[in-house]
Amino acid sequence: MIAGTPLERRYRRLLAWYPPQHRATFGEEMIGVLLAAARDGQRRPGVADIADLLRGAVRAWMRAAVAGAPDRRWQEALSASSMLAAPLMIVLLLGQDLGWMSSLLWHSASQPSAMPALLWPLPVLLLPLALGVLGSRRLATAAALVLTVWVAVQAALGQRLQEPRVAGYLVLLGVQAVALAFSPGPRRGLELVSRRSIVVAIPWIATAAYAGAIVPTHYPVPLAVAELGVCVVAVAGLPALATPAGRRLVVLLVIIPGSTFLTPLLTFAGVRFYSMGFAASQFALYLPPVFLAGVTAMVVRRTDRGRPAEATAAS
């Protein structure tokens, strides 16, 4: 190998198209192979070499984007999200209207009002989770993606894509699909359940149940006392936010899906969401969760890139 030759410099310029981590790991080895295979007196990379290197750069970036795993804490949060997303949807629906979900899963169906016709959406929503628990994570991911697309299509056919609640459920379904695809899955989520996590979660579960009208809202006490009691229960759940896993779960399961309601909630500030056209309403509903999901992905990737440096510094 002739270091510093024009041929080597040109090869290094081509390698600059590869991800930094790939260059740090394989760069010198690739340069050595390329120079060893070069002809005597060769000064420029051949067309075939350039094409191969560019194809390799595309594949390397795709692997970095798709196969790059987040750090352990994000993996655990994604595993927990893959386990909790479907039950969260069902809890919310039980407190709202199962018939509404029935008509959303099949746009031409009338809203049932009697059992068991009300319950048929539940196994549909639980299918990705069930497949993941059984160990078929790829099949579970495919089922979650199909379910998300199906709900979006049915909502479009029923002209309901402008409903904020539909957008919230669609984003939550999308979070479930991503969590299944980029984590060890709900089996790992079940392994993470501990007595401490259950105790910390009880106040949140109780508050969500009250807010969703799953538990009675009329007590033989003054309304102010009942509301104060709910506030106390909610505050008791705040220690969960002090843990990294708790903060990540709130981002994935609450903040990102809940951000679809940001623009509709601004109607009191003069934002006329319900007077918007279709394109503007879709932009208003989905821009906040897409932005937050992008920021979260950047944080995950930055954390992943920072781990080798941290490990080196620690050693």
Hey, what amino acid is at 56?
A: G
What's the confidence (pLDDT) of residue 311?
A: 41
Residues 6 or more apart in contact with residue 178 via CB below 8 angstroms: 78
Given pLDDT bands bounded at 50, 70 and 90, which one contains residue 191? confident
What pTM does this model have? 0.66
Spatial contact of 103 and 158, defined as CB atoms under 8 Å apart: yes
Given pLDDT bands bounded at 50, 70 and 90, which one contains residue 223? low
* Mean predicted confidence (pLDDT) in 259-288: 85
Structure tokens, 245: 């896993």
What's the confidence (pLDDT) of residue 200?
A: 64
Question: Given a cut of 70, is residue 234 above it in pLDDT?
Answer: no
pLDDT above 90 covers a percentage of the chain that reads 16
Q: What is the pLDDT of residues 42-85, one digit of tens each?
A: 888 888 888 888 888 887 776 665 555 445 778 888 888 899 88
φ/ψ region of 159 (left if φ > 0, alpha if ψ in -120 to 50, else beta) reads left
Structure tokens, 237: 């759940």
Nearest to 74 by CA among 214, 208, 182: 182
Nearest to 82 by CA among 121, 155, 137: 137
Structure tokens, 162: 């402008």
Among 68-82, 130-144, 217-231, the range with the most confident prediction by mean pLDDT is: 130-144
Q: What is the pLDDT of residues 199-215, one digit of tens each?
A: 666 666 666 666 555 55
What's the confidence (pLDDT) of residue 172?
A: 93
Give the separation between CA 101 and CA 302, rounded to whole angstroms: 38
Higher-confidence residue: 166 or 311? 166
Spatial contact of 243 and 249, defined as CB atoms under 8 Å apart: no
Nearest to 263 by CA among 247, 274, 255: 274
Question: Given a cut of 90, is residue 119 above it in pLDDT?
Answer: no
What's the confidence (pLDDT) of residue 1?
A: 39
Given pLDDT bands bounded at 50, 70 and 90, which one contains residue 313? very low
Residues 6 or more apart in contact with residue 235 via CB below 8 angstroms: 203
Hey, what amino acid is at 176?
A: Q
The verdict on whether omega for the bond into residue 257 sits within 30 degrees of 0, i.e. cis, is no
